[in-house]
């Protein structure tokens, strides 16, 4: 769980990407608890819950298939783009934000976020979890379509570039949050200048 890149200055956005039941939402909440300044947390689940019910079964909306697959259409993408732009505007207005998402399109999903966030400083975090462990969590939760966790465990990471990868298979979400917090550069004290 070591960073793959040196954190950039003044991180304002943390994007957590991982499959269903990988622990993203729990990490986001724990991250809010350990960061010294307030951070807002937004989730793709919040976005889906905000959609009109008719979009949960329409070809142009989002469909959850019996085997755990997820298909999205044009109306979903249009509203998703507006949601992403709204999060970017929230950050530009002064808030720090953690987003937990599921990059169903892998690199294409990351590209949509990059377009929305523009020049904002983002810490990209991959949240990995063994597919079998995620599937057990999915079953215990009882609020997800069975098969979703296994289907998403690897596909959401295809082609995605990360600054940091955490793995919740055997690591507690609090420890993962601590690792992420350590990578948010503004938390580190400024170096004291030395005089000759």
Residues marked as catalytic: 45
Whole-number Å distance between alpha carbons of 131 and 192: 46
Spatial separation of the C-alpha atoms in residues 147 and 158, rounded to whole Å = 19
Enter the tokens of residue 30: 């724990």
Asked if 45 contacts 127 with a C-beta cutoff of 8 angstroms, the reply is no
> SS3 letters for 9-58?
CCCCEEEEECCCCCCHHHHHHHHHHHCCCCEEEEEHHHHHHHCCHHHHCC
3-state DSSP assignment of residue 92: helix
**Spatial contact of 141 and 149, defined as CB atoms under 8 Å apart:** no
Q: For residue 153, what is the enclosing H or E element?
A: helix 148-155
Q: Name the residue with tokens 């010294």.
A: 36
What is the separation of C-alpha 178 from the centre of its chain, rounded to a whole number of angstroms?
Answer: 16
């Amino acid at each position: 769980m070591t960073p793959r890149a040196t954190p950039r200055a003044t991180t304002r956005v943390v994007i957590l990407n991982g499959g269903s039941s990988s622990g993203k939402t729990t990490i986001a909440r724990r991250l809010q608890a350990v960061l010294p300044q307030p951070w807002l947390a937004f989730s793709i689940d919040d976005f889906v819950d905000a959609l009109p019910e008719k979009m949960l079964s329409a070809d142009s909306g989002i469909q959850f298939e019996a085997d755990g697959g997820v298909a999205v259409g044009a109306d979903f993408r249009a509203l998703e783009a507006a949601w992403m732009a709204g999060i970017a505007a929230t950050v530009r207005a002064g808030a720090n934000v953690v987003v937990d998402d599921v990059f169903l399109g892998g690199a294409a999903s990351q590209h949509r976020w990059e377009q929305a966030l523009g020049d904002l400083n983002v810490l990209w975090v991959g949240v990995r979890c063994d597919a079998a462990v995620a599937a057990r969590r999915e079953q215990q939760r009882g609020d997800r379509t069975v098969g979703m966790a296994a289907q998403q465990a690897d596909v959401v990471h295809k082609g995605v570039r990360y600054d940091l990868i955490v793995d919740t298979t055997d690591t507690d979400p609090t420890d993962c949050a601590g690792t992420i917090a350590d990578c948010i550069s503004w938390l580190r004290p400024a170096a004291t200048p030395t005089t000759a």
